[in-house]
Amino acid sequence: MIGTEIVPFSFEGKDYEIRVVSDGATIRIRAFLNGKPANGYAYEVNTITLFDLKRQIGFDGVKDLIQSAKEDVKQKRWARYLEAVALVNKEGT
């Protein structure tokens, strides 16, 4: 795949999209909200690894990473991470 695929989903009344972008050698996946990254997480895998996983064990790495990106949004993992960093920084001062 070369190009961009967009996978829309809704959560808490907001419309997100997971963008799957490939340059032919690498596939990058990230969640977006209103055209901006929804969090600090991004996923990247090379196409050779994806093809090997699919051929050897039937595993669809792109679908799995799309699901991970959705779950990161739904579980609010980035917000929890930022809260933990702020707490550590506050305690360290």
Q: What global pTM score does this model have?
A: 0.86
Average model confidence (pLDDT) for the chain?
A: 93
C-alpha distances in angstroms, 31 versus 45, 56, 72?
A: 16, 28, 9
Task: Check residue 26 and give its pLDDT.
Answer: 94
Give the domain extent around 26: 2-92
Q: Average pLDDT of 10-36?
A: 96
- Which among 17, 22, 14 has a CA at the least distance from the CA of 37? 17
Task: Check residue 9 and give its pLDDT.
Answer: 97
Amino acid, res. 32: F
State both tokens at 9: 């989903």
C-alpha distances in angstroms, 1 versus 21, 35, 53, 80?
A: 9, 22, 16, 34
d(CA 87, CA 5): 37
The tally of domains found in the chain comes to 1
Task: Check residue 93 and give its pLDDT.
Answer: 63
Give the 3-state secondary structure of residue 1: coil
d(CA 39, CA 88): 20
Q: Is the pLDDT of residue 91 over 90?
A: no
